[in-house]
Amino acid sequence: MTPTLNLTINGVPQQIALDDPRATLLDLLRERIGLTGTKKGCDRGQCGACTVLIDGRRMNACLALALSYDGAEITTVEGLATGETLHPVQAAFIAHDGFQCGYCTPGQIMSAVGLIAEGEAGLDPERIREGMSGNLCRCAAYAGITEAVLEATREMTSATGERESA
């Protein structure tokens, strides 16, 4: 029997027939749904390139068995922008040169969105660096990434009127 998986991906409910139980959420997104924004770096939880939000929490899609997340809401980098308007984290990565080759970038951006939602790092650069340590960048764009996350945090917390904790 081919199990059917129900996932809401970037706001769109989808039914996916899964003939192989081995599919990770990463392979499902890239190979079956055609959303190739989410990247495969190590495929072992070590680099963060595959970071997506599962029910609002950042996780490594490469170590998430797709079947285990039946019913979940998934947000990928393709789901952040509203039409032509970039998400504040995306805009801040461009403004601060938060990348060079760009391979780690979708994972960095999704991780930053998750970090800001957690609300624990605030505007402390050290807490941001620590909170982003699950995302490696071979181009070492770390300085720009930290600046980008700082700016996006400012932008997003002042927009929602949340308390900023530095």
Partner 1 sequence: MNRFEYTRAETLGAAVGAEGAFLAGGTNLLDLMKIGVAAPDRLVDISHLPLDRIEESAGGLRIGAMVRNADIARDPQVLARYPALAEALLSGASAQLRNAATTGGNVMQATRCSYFQDPLSPCNRREPGSGCGALGGVTRTHAVLGWTEGCIAVHPSDMCVALAAYDAVVEITGPGGLREVAMEEFHPLPDAEGAGAPSLSPGEIITHIRLPDPGPLARHGRYVKLRERTSFAFAIVSAAAALAIEDGVITEARLALGGVAARPWRCRKAEEALKGALATAETFARASELATDGARPSGDNAAKIVLAQRIAARALERAAAGTPDRLPALPASVFAGDDNG
Contacting positions for partner 1 (CB under 8 A): 3, 20-22, 24, 43-45, 48, 51, 57-60, 63-65, 67-68, 70, 111, 114-115, 118, 120, 124, 126-127, 129-135
Minimum distance of ligand FAD from residue 158's CB (angstroms) = 35
Which tokens belong to 122?
């605030």
Residue with Cβ nearer ligand FAD (133 or 165): 133
Instruction: Residue count of the chain, please give it.
Output: 166
Instruction: Give helix 88-95 / helix 142-160 axis angle, nearest 10°.
Output: 140
> How far apart, in Å, are the Cα atoms of 41 and each of 38, 76, 114?
10, 16, 19
Is the CB of residue 14 less than 8 Å from the CB of residue 33? yes
Minimum distance of ligand FAD from residue 46's CB (angstroms) = 4
Minimum distance of ligand FES from residue 17's CB (angstroms) = 25
Minimum distance of ligand FES from residue 66's CB (angstroms) = 14
Rule CB under 6 A: is residue 6 a binding residue for ligand FAD? no
Q: How far apart are CA 56 and CA 91, in angstroms?
A: 20
Residue with Cβ nearer ligand FES (62 or 128): 62
